[in-house]
Structure 1
Amino acid sequence: MNSTQSEAPIVVGIDGSQAAINAAVWAADFAVDRGVPLRLVHVVTVDEEDTDLDEDPSDLAADWPETEFGRTALRVASAAVHATGKLIAVDTEILWGETDAMLLTESASATMVCVGSVGVTPFCERTLGSTATTVAQQAHCPVAVIRLDNDLPTLESEWIVTVVDSSRAGNTVATWALEAACLLRAPVLALGVAPSEPCGIDGYELERRVASWRKQYPHLHIYPVACDDDVAGFLRDHDELAAQLAVIGDTHVKRAAQIVGPYRQSRDTHNWCSVLVVR
């Protein structure tokens, strides 16, 4: 992957939570693999009414407690990345503005944007929105919403689940899923969208694509599964499945919140599935 990638960084939103630190450590593997820097950003909210038209928000908020908190959060996240021993360039920066808008701006010049998540509450998704959901749906680059717990280490046997359909982005989604599986040393479950659904494919086409991928990635275990439901429904109905990452395209992006799942205290592995939206 290194030879085809630009120097556009992988951007991680850092809010001081353990979820964000986990996302930074997860993203570091991808940054190293792609030969790009890791950029950690913390957004300090500055409302328009707090500033004059000619006033720089960074000057206004330079001494705010929120800004000092952000500097500390970035130091902690950066230290966690360096503690892995990975040889990687890590850039940190405080941004001032509205969190969703700042991350969407960052996405315009990024290889990927990563955010951590402890789950999406129904209230947040319905009335307030969540940063993870908004960025996943509107970013200009791929977005990873990482739901990990340090007490539940990712196992090499946990699945990468990806959607296989006839959409324009289908091949790009597959490439990201297969390369993620190589990096994470994980098997791939390829879910073929039913022909009756938009962008669906039949069983023959699903088998043909999987056979092609097996030739390209002979060391990967790739299993085709014809699916009458979307990936969120499949994961819900197969809660015995240990899935660490679901890789989807824009066609299925509205299901990202359901894949990540609601905030809850259960320790079951299937409650901690991350999602990568490819575009």
Structure 2
Amino acid sequence: MNDRIVAGLDGSAESLAAAHWAAREASMRGVPLHLVHAEEWSSPRGLPVPTSEVRRHWAQALLTETADELRASQPGLDVDVRSFDGRPAAELAGVAAGASMIVLGSRGLGTVTGFVLGSVGMAVIQATIRPVVMVRASEDAVQHPDGRHAARDVLVGVDISQPCDALLAFAFEEAARRACALHVLHSWSLPPLVGYGAAYDPRVHAQLEMNANASLGDVLGPWRDKYPGVGVISRASAGRASTELVDRSSEAGLIVVGRRIRKSSIGAHIGPVTHAVLHHAEAPVAVIAHD
């Protein structure tokens, strides 16, 4: 049973923000929080590294101090800690296999550094089928007097031409749990000739947009019935999905995007929209694996 949340911790401002975000999420769900530190130490260019004893002491102190801080901010929250010596991405993906969610820090500013050395966050996303949430350091700068997430809505990007039940299930559940509205965005591309010179016809554009919104409404119908208490604002429009999601990210409390569960000759592929949102969105981003 997936009844806990895992948060990766490496001492950076991003990972500390992720730990606080994960604590609020665990408190809302009524599940334990599992703080994990995993790091593979190396000696770049011959520089000395701390001894195993020093490293273990530092990691344990980091985990203990952070756990105490989270228990103080979220009374009643069950927090446990664990430290690994080894490849961070592999260790975190292994721990996440039995969790409902894994939360990591993301530096942003045009890059997804993940936590620890930078490639770990992306590697975990590619390695696990569990939801992964990437959190920026700025997320924890906003005070939450009630100990919960900021009162901002959930935003989900879907492609209704592909299976999207996994994304909608996660997004609706999060909106219901947070008692906030859910914004559903579907972006689509115009046929090649529609947008060029004299071939462009506003009536054609309007008809295509109306059809896309009707199709999106059909997809959302069963979910509206299942979650009648969630206010849904849906929009289908021509354009780049990544641009729309990033532009609206500053007003969202959580952005939900997907990645296909598939393998290529060069490894897992998260898709251009999810990749762009992870790089540039201002809000926490939940990546949901789906068929």
TM over 0.5: yes
Partner residue in 2 for 1:190: 184
Partner residue in 2 for 1:57: none
The 1-side partners of 2:112 and 2:252 are apart by 26
The 1-side partners of 2:212 and 2:184 are apart by 13
The 1-side partners of 2:8 and 2:19 are apart by 8
Matches within 5 A, 1:1-279: 6-46=1-41, 62-64=52-54, 66-119=55-108, 121-122=110-111, 130-147=119-136, 148-153=138-143, 155-156=150-151, 158-166=152-160, 170-194=164-188, 202-238=212-248, 242-251=251-260, 253-254=270-271, 255-261=273-279, 272-279=282-289
Q: TM-score with structure 2 length normalisation?
A: 0.72
Contact 1:244/1:272, CA 8 A, preserved across alignment: no
- 1:193 shift after superposition: 4.1
Tell me: CA distance 1:7–1:194, structure 2 relative to 1, closer, same or farther (3 Å): closer
Tell me the SS of whatever aligns to 2:235: strand
Q: Deviation per CA, 1:101-153, whole angstroms, max 9, x where unpaired?
A: 2212222222211101221654969xx85222222233231111112433334
Q: Deviation per CA, 1:186-238, whole angstroms, max 9, x where unpaired?
A: 321101242779xxx93222112334333332332211110334542113445
Tell me: CA distance 1:204–1:272, structure 2 relative to 1, closer, same or farther (3 Å): same
Q: Deviation per CA, 1:13-72, whole angstroms, max 9, x where unpaired?
A: 00112322222222223334444321101113146xxxxxxxxxxxx96403x3222112
Structure 1: which 5+ runs fail to align? 1-5, 48-59, 263-270
Contact 1:227/1:234, CA 8 A, preserved across alignment: no
Which structure has the bigger radius of gyration? 2
Aligned-partner residue type, residue 138 of structure 1: A
Tell me: CA distance 1:9–1:151, structure 2 relative to 1, closer, same or farther (3 Å): closer
Total equivalences in the alignment: 247
Q: TM-score with structure 1 length normalisation?
A: 0.75
The 1-side partners of 2:234 and 2:241 are apart by 13
Aligned-partner residue type, residue 165 of structure 1: D
Q: Deviation per CA, 1:136-177, whole angstroms, max 9, x where unpaired?
A: 233231111112433334641x23111233476511211111
Contact 1:115/1:144, CA 8 A, preserved across alignment: yes
Contact 2:139/2:284, CA 8 A, preserved across alignment: no
Aligned-partner residue type, residue 224 of structure 1: S
Aligned-partner residue type, residue 78 of structure 1: A
Tell me: CA distance 1:151–1:194, structure 2 relative to 1, closer, same or farther (3 Å): same
Tell me: CA distance 1:237–1:30, structure 2 relative to 1, closer, same or farther (3 Å): closer
The two structures, once aligned, show a CA RMSD in angstroms of 3.2
Structure 2: which 5+ runs fail to align? 43-49, 144-148, 192-210, 261-268
The 2-side partners of 1:176 and 1:276 are apart by 9
